[in-house]
């Protein structure tokens, strides 16, 4: 098996891209990455996307994007694992290079959510949950996460305002990221006064509906050492039941634990070795639960890490360093690729005002559904 490195990264700003469709924003991210890698072609393209069929009436993004970037003919396909689609595409790209089947591979995560009716977006996001046993009862995806958050608060005696630190940290970091959707810091009061979406999840607990595309160029380490920006030290996928009521314990994300443990073993590290963690803070409750199951806090204690000295850029374990899903934005099928782009920027000292000093090992963790697919990548600097 060949070692895999990242030789180029690209991203559009996460935004409401009213004038540009799926093919356009994919193109923008891929061109950005190809310039960065200084390449003119590639062997294959794996597109991570969740909702193009439901929201744009367009499946078949692999061939569509390959053609639009001027590489008609190349191998291309789409990979989907709900909100973990971006990292699922990365997983496939890694297998393509590791196997020796391909040398230079492009992984593009893309999502376009704003150019659709909001009811359709709500229905689309609910396709991540169990249609027959959850969604058929009338609950939305944010509603499912609200049940988790309420249960967490009840079981561990947590007040809603204790989650504020996650949103404040994300927005403070997003303020320094030119690719973030929200580039403004918020005060704790903004969190406390935010409009309720699905009690207890308010607007500041929740990531936004948005558009975006990000791209990674992969290659084998043996031939591309001089171009390498970061090494893939681990790539690990784990799953759980889609339906939350079927889980062993709704407040323990077993797939986060399993995926993280597999990744730590592959990279031969422990959680203490991780210099920054791009976690899946689609909702603040998912940040707390992820920190716990990934080994950074005991069960029921993840929310207590929502403090500057813990998760801030200078803290013990910086998270959401470029704004996370909350402030950079969460174009669902693209998010996993954005996370890894950001880790690469941290490992190459290109994170600007949000640079984590001396970052050598970064972890990105992308979650599909409320924890049913969890994909963890650990990257090392060169």
Residue number, 51 or 286, with CB nearest to its own copies = 51
CB of 304 to its own copies, least distance (A): 28
| Contact in structure between 1 and 339 (CB atoms under 8 Å) | no
Cβ contact 12:19 at 8 Å:
no
Cα–Cα distance, 232 to 1 (Å, whole number): 13
> Is 83 in the active site?
yes
Cα distances (Å, whole numbers) of residue 47 to 50, 110, 141: 10, 7, 24
Catalytic position from the list 27, 83, 210, 231:
83
Q: Mutual orientation of helices 164-174 and 284-293 as an angle, nearest 10°?
A: 100
**Is the separation of the CB atoms in 97 and 105 below 8 Å?**
yes
Stated length of the chain: 382
Residue closer to its own copies by CB (options 51, 359) is 51
Residue 261 in 3-state DSSP? helix
Give me the least distance between CB of 111 and its own copies, in Å please.
12
Check: CB of residue 186 under 8 Å from CB of residue 167: yes
Minimum CB distance to its own copies, residue 237 (Å) = 4
- CB of 60 or CB of 193, closer to its own copies: 60
- Give the whole-angstrom CA distance, residue 330 versus residue 149: 19
- Least distance from its own copies to the Cβ atom of residue 376, Å: 12
Which position among 27, 102, 330, 377 bears the catalytic label? 330
CB of 43 to its own copies, least distance (A): 10
Q: For residues 46 and 338, which CB has a smaller minimum distance to its own copies in the complex?
A: 46
Tell me whether residue 108 is one of the annotated catalytic residues: no
CB of 113 to its own copies, least distance (A): 14
Decide whether 124 or 200 has the Cβ nearer to its own copies. 124
Which tokens belong to 185?
Answer: 């810091």
For residue 327 the two structure tokens come to 């402030």
Query: Angle at the Cα of 81 (from 96 to 346), degrees rounded to 5?
Result: 70
d(CA 309, CA 46): 38
Find all residues with CB under 8 Å of 226, minimum gap 6, and list them: none
- Structure-token pair, residue 109: 């995560």
- β-pairing verdict for 44-48 and 105-112: parallel
Q: Which is nearer to its own copies, 38 or 59 (CB)?
A: 59
Are 371 and 238 a contacting pair, CB within 8 Å? no
Least separation in angstroms between CB 354 and its own copies: 31
The site for its own copies (CB under 8 A) is made up of 1, 21, 23, 44, 50-54, 56-60, 62-64, 66-67, 72-82, 84, 88, 91-92, 95-96, 98-101, 123-124, 126-132, 135, 237-242, 246, 254-255, 258, 368-369, 372-373
> Contact 22/52 with Cβ under 8 angstroms?
yes
Q: Which lies closer to its own copies via its Cβ, residue 56 or residue 173? A: 56
Return d(Cα 228, Cα 226) in angstroms, integer. Answer: 6
Active-site residue list: 83, 330
């Amino acid at each position: 098996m060949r070692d895999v490195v990242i030789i180029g990264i690209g991203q559009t700003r996460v935004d409401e891209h009213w004038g540009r469709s799926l093919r356009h924003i994919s193109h923008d991210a891929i061109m950005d990455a190809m310039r960065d890698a200084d390449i003119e072609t590639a062997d294959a393209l794996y597109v991570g996307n969740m909702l193009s069929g439901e929201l744009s009436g367009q499946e078949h993004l692999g061939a569509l994007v390959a053609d639009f970037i001027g590489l008609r003919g190349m191998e291309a396909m789409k990979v989907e694992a709900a909100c973990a689609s971006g990292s699922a595409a990365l997983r496939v790209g890694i297998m393509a290079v590791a196997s020796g089947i391909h040398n230079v591979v492009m992984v593009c995560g893309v999502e376009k959510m704003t150019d659709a009716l909001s009811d359709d977006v709500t229905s689309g996001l609910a396709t991540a949950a169990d249609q027959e046993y959850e969604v058929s009862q009338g609950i939305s995806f944010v509603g499912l996460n609200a049940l988790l958050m309420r249960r967490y608060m009840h079981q561990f005696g947590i007040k809603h305002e204790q989650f504020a630190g996650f949103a404040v940290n994300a927005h403070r970091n997003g303020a320094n990221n030119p690719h973030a959707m929200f580039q403004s810091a918020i005060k704790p009061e903004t969190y406390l006064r935010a409009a309720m979406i699905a009690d207890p999840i308010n607007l500041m607990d929740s990531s936004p509906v948005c558009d975006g595309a990000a791209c990674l160029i992969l290659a084998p380490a043996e031939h591309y050492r001089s171009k390498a920006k970061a090494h893939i030290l681990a790539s690990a996928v784990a799953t759980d039941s889609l339906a939350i009521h079927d889980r062993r314990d709704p407040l323990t994300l077993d797939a986060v634990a399993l995926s993280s443990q597999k990744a730590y073993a592959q990279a031969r590290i422990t959680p203490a070795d991780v210099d920054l963690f791009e976690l899946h803070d689609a909702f603040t409750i998912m940040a707390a639960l992820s920190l716990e199951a990934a080994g950074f806090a005991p069960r029921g204690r993840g929310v207590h890490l929502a403090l500057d000295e813990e998760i801030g850029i200078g803290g013990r374990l910086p998270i959401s360093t470029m704004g996370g899903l909350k402030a950079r934005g969460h174009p669902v099928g693209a998010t996993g690729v954005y996370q890894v782009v950001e880790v690469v920027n941290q490992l190459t000292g290109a994170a600007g005002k949000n640079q984590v000093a001396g970052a050598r090992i970064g972890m990105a963790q992308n979650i599909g559904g409320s924890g049913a697919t969890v994909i963890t990548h650990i990257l090392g600097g060169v």
